[in-house]
Amino acid sequence: MMITTKHLGQEVTDGRRKGVLQSVWMGRAWVRPDGGGVEWDVQPSALVAVEEAEQSA
């Protein structure tokens, strides 16, 4: 399932990093690391909700 604005505030992962989804806009998603730090941006299709990732593992 692709990450959308309905996932804002939820924990997401790109497979190697994990953080809280801050924004989705113009084909980009911004994620802030759990412990703080620098946000990163990525295509929403590269992210999955952590809850979904744990269920499929």
Q: Quick check: 21 and 43 in contact, CB under 8 A?
A: no
Confidence label for 51 from pLDDT (cuts 50, 70 and 90): confident
Closest CA to 24 of 36, 46, 1, 8: 8
Number of Cβ within a 10 Å radius of residue 24? 19
Residue 57's pLDDT is what? 62
14-49 confidence digits (pLDDT tens): 999 999 999 999 999 999 998 888 999 999 999 999
DSSP assignments along 6-35, one per residue: GGTTSEEE-SS-EEEEEEEETTEEEEEETT
What's this model's pTM, rounded to 2 decimal places? 0.85
**Residue showing tokens 């953080």:** 19
Confidence label for 54 from pLDDT (cuts 50, 70 and 90): low
